[in-house]
Amino acid sequence: LAVKDPTAVERANLLNMAKLSIKGLIESALSFGRTLDSDYPPLQQFFVVMEHCLKHGLKVRKSFLSYNKTIWGPLELVEKLYPEAEEIAASVRDLPGLKTPLGRARAWLRLALMQKKMADYLRCLIIQRDLLSEFYEYHALMMEEEGAVIVGLLVGLNVIDANLCVKGEDLDSQVGVIDFSVYLKSDDDIGGKERNVQIAAILDQKNYVEELNRQLNSTVSSLHARVDSLEKSNTKLIEELAIAKNNIIKLQEENHQLRSENTLILMKTQHHLEATKVDVEAELQTYKHSRQGLDEMYTEARRQLREEAQLRQDMENELVVQVSMKHEIELAMKLLEKDIHEKQDTLIGLRQQLDEVKAINVEMYQKLQVSEDAMKEKNEIISRLEDKTNQINATMKQLEQRLQQAEKAQMDAEAEDEKLKQEYVNKSESLQNEFSQKEKQLLQLETDLKIEKEWRQTLEDDLQKEKETVSQLRTETQEIVNLKKEFLKLQEKNKQLKSTCEDQEAALQELASKLSESKLKIEDIKEANKALQGQVWLKDKEATHCKLCEKEFSLSKRKHHCRNCGEIFCNACSDNELPLPSSPKPVRVCDSCHAILIQRCSSTVP
């Protein structure tokens, strides 16, 4: 005889029990009124049978924290595969009276039956066999064809309306025992076959109508989703089009502004070019006249040197005058040195401000170093906390190992009990003492498990506290990073202040050079005024023509006054120049007396 596989026999028995329980539940519900509550016995037997079917071939997981050692693990996986199951899973987790994963699984089965979607949920779970292999053995009922048959049978339960109260019921401590007396045949069952056939036909029609309604609802929901996505894309396109139009309008306005600015710049450059051309032409004419005058003056000077030797004494007098001018220049240099010293004092003040800024930067750098030291200390504290967490994890792993050992011992004790019951039924009196001892051992193991769970709870609380401290340290590190950013901003401001200070120093140097030039010019003007103290100047209205060429004064012919003889000449007639150490440019000299000529300024003639 061929030896049958015990797992196949178990699957067949569970399938038959599921068929009987589902059939009996439907028949009794139709005769009872189709609305059932939690105290209805066939409904309780159906949940017990489903629990046994889901437990068949379940793997024992080594993880201490996960709930995959019971049927709650694969049932919790349904919400990832079927989005409508998220509501059930969330409500089961929020129930206050449930403490064990088995109680949550029982509550999930009751809620799925009330929703009439138990078959859909389990069908999604059976399709994903690669995910189920993490929870079930390869020979489990949910991994074989019997699981698909049971899911097909569960579709018939959609005709039942169940009203179950899950919140107040004690689902953790229920004992799942199948009552076989309910499924034994009677004479009434044999006589009512025709009535059952009619009821089955009606139920098939109802199931067909509900399936059609479900498919239509799914198509309507998919169409609504497509309409929403199309509306969102349409609104996005409209917003993008409006943004593009606004950008085009802005670009057109900028183009128009740039064109108008370009035309304005062209007009300004043209005007500037015309003005510069006029100035260049006037300067060329004056240069030509001055060149001719210089040639004439050169010939006249040679003639005067040959003819007038007596002018040597006058030149010696002029040398005496220049010596006096030199003394006055030295006084002006002293005044300039005083001004330079004052500006140096201002520069010293600015440098002191720079030193203060540098001191502030040094203080900020010291503060940053202090903050970095604090950061290092906090990092050390974080490393210590991580070491503590590692130690806690190690202790938790040890506790998991102890719990696994306890569970193995419990399983071994249960296996030994079953073997002793099967092999030594006749020797029950002699084995009662040993059975009581095993029960005591089980009680001790259960107490050890409770102690381990309490210890685990305390460790989890300690872990939570450590996580809170780590989060506080992270916030403090974020504050330190913000301080670094502020320090960088202050460094940038310091660089800007340094650049502005350097620019100010350059500007002060330029001002000092310009002031020195202006002082020299003022001294020259003072000397000219001293020379002209005994002379009488003509009025501007009376001086209209040059003394030599007798031409009117104009823009090109400017007035020059001799400070010795008081005569007024134009710039063309007074081209005799003499270099002086007090001025960078040569000075114009009178033709008759060789004194310095001073340019006169009036409201009409520059």
pLDDT band at residue 576, thresholds of 50, 70 and 90?
low
Beta-ladder partners of 599: 560
**Percent with pLDDT over 70 in the chain:** 82
Sign of the Cα torsion 286, 288, 293, 294 reads: positive
Q: Distance between alpha carbon 241 and the CA centroid of its chain, in Å?
A: 28
Instruction: Determine the Cα–Cα distance for residues 311 and 592; give it in Å rounded to an integer.
Output: 12
The phi and psi torsions of 308 (rounded to 5 degrees) equal -115, 90
Task: Tell how strand 597-599 and strand 587-588 pair up.
Answer: unpaired
- First-to-last C-alpha distance (Å) of the chain: 139
Q: What are the pLDDT digits (tens) for 148-182? A: 999 999 888 888 888 888 877 778 777 777 777 66
DSSP structure string for 316-329? HHHHHHHHHHHHHH
**Token digits for 187?**
């004479």
Q: What's residue 194's pLDDT?
A: 63
Q: What is the pLDDT of residues 51-71, one digit of tens each?
A: 888 888 888 765 555 544 578
Q: How far is it, in rounded angstroms, from Cα 253 to Cα 266?
A: 20
Contact 286, 280 (CB under 8 A): no
> What pLDDT score was predicted for residue 238?
92
- Mean of pLDDT values over 593-597: 59
Tell me if 589 sits within 8 A of 577, measured CB to CB: yes
Q: Give the predicted TM-score (pTM) of the model.
A: 0.35
* Assigned token pair, 29: 């519900």
Can you give the pLDDT at residue 424? 60
Dihedrals phi, psi of 161, to nearest 5 degrees: -105, 115
397: left (phi over 0), alpha (psi -120 to 50) or beta: alpha
Distance in angstroms (rounded) separating the CA atoms of residues 549 and 293: 11
Residue 605: the pLDDT is: 34
d(C-alpha 36, C-alpha 282), whole Å: 118
CA-to-CA dists, residue 79 to 76, 125, 127, 287, 345, angstroms: 6, 10, 14, 101, 82
* DSSP labels, 523-559: HHHHHHHHHTTTS-PPPTTT--B-TTT--B--SSS-E
Nearest to 106 by CA among 157, 161, 55: 55
Segment 309-329 shows an average pLDDT of 81
Domains of the chain in sequence order:
6-183 (1.20.58.900), 547-598 (3.30.40.10)
Top pLDDT among 501 and 434 is at: 501
Q: Does 257 have pLDDT greater than 80? A: yes
